[in-house]
Amino acid sequence: MAELRVRVNGADHLLDIPPQVSLLDALREHLGLTGTKKGCDQGACGACTVLADGERINACLALAVQYADREITTIEGIDHPIQEAFVRHDGFQCGYCTSGQICSAIGMLAEHKDGMPSAVTGEPSAEGEELTDEEIRERMSGNLCRCGAYHGIVEAIGEVAR
């Protein structure tokens, strides 16, 4: 067992868990933070997306011990206009992908602001590229929504971004 200090949503927690435990299982099972979802446990769906120092990561592919010194933010720690925009634009149905979509969108907006390109970004220009719907779709493609709420998700993110 490893004694582990993790910082989640601004609070410190001490965990006594084996080193092979994923950040996702640590959050859901050991800290009772079930807002972060498990859709595949294999890095394929994005339901487990959380922010580590503001960067989006798949918590199922991360070992909790790797993130001992990082500031983790889960959906329970988020208070952002995008949440309300998701409701207004019906950016979900069952809601199981939603925590991941929201965390991912916040991380993605920061990436874009930092000038990080995507596969559909054109030639670099002096002034920052506008975040088009095509860019949003490309950059959000790691977050599956089997209910197919993509239309509303893109609208909600676009509204907050612009």
Partner 1 sequence: MTRTVDGEHLVGQPIDRIDGPAKTTGGARFSAEHAYPGLTHAALVPATVSRGRITAIDTAAAAAVPGVITVLTHGNAPKLNPPKRPTPANLSTLVSGTQVNYLNTDEVHWDGQPVAVVVAETSHAAREAAALVHVSYERLPAVVDFAAEEPNAVAQKGNPVMPGSAKKGDADAALAVAPVTVDARYTTPQHHHNALEPHATTAVWQGDELTVHDSTQSITWLRKHLALRFGVPEAKVRVLAPFVGGGFGGKGFAWPGTIIAVLAARATGRPVRLLLTREDVHRAVGARTPSAQRVALGADTGGRLTALVHTSVTRTSRVGGQPEQVTAPAQHLYDATNIRTAQSQTTLDWMPNTSMRAPGDAIGSFALESAIDELAGELGIDPVELRMRNEPERNPIDGKRFSHRMLREAYALGARRFGWENRSPEPRSTRDGRWLVGMGVATAYHPAMQFTANVTVRLAADGTVTVRCGFQEMGMGNATVQAQIAADALGVPFEAVRVEYGDSALPASVMAGGSMQTSTVAGSVLAACGKLTRRLSTLARRTGMQGRTPTEILTAARVPFIDAAVGSDTRLGALAGQARMLAKVVRDQRTWAKAACGAHFCEVRVDADTGEVRVSRWTAAFDVGRVINRKTAFSQLRGGIVMGIGMALFEEALVDRRTGRIMNPSLSGYHVPVHADVPPIDIACLDEPDPTMPLGILGVGEVGITGVAAAIANAIHHATGSRIRDLPITPDKLVT
> What's the min distance (Å) between Cβ of 78 and partner 1?
8
Alpha-carbon Rg of the chain, whole angstroms?
16
Determine, following the binding rule CB under 6 A, whether residue 83 of this chain makes contact with ligand FES.
Answer: no
Q: Which is nearer to partner 1, 122 or 126 (CB)?
A: 122
Summarize as ranges the residues that interact with partner 1 (CB under 8 A): 18, 20-22, 25, 28-29, 32-45, 47, 74-76, 78, 83-84, 86-88, 90, 92-99, 102, 133, 136-138, 140-154
Question: Quick one: tokens of 148?
Answer: 């197919």
How many amino acids of this chain bind ligand FES (CB under 6 A)?
Answer: 23
CA 127, 131, 137 angle in degrees (round to 5)?
150
> What's the min distance (Å) between Cβ of 18 and partner 1?
7
CA 58, 66, 2 angle in degrees (round to 5)?
125
Return the residue of 26, 97, 156, 161 that touches ligand FES, per CB under 6 A. 97
Amino acid at the residue 17: I
Cα separation, 140 vs 126, in Å, equals 24
Cα separation, 91 vs 112, in Å, equals 21
Q: Which is nearer to ligand FES, 48 or 75 (CB)?
A: 48
> What's the min distance (Å) between Cβ of 92 and partner 1?
6
Cα separation, 100 vs 142, in Å, equals 10
Instruction: Please give the residue ranges that form the binding site for ligand FES (CB under 6 A).
Output: 38-41, 43-48, 58, 60, 92-98, 145-147, 149
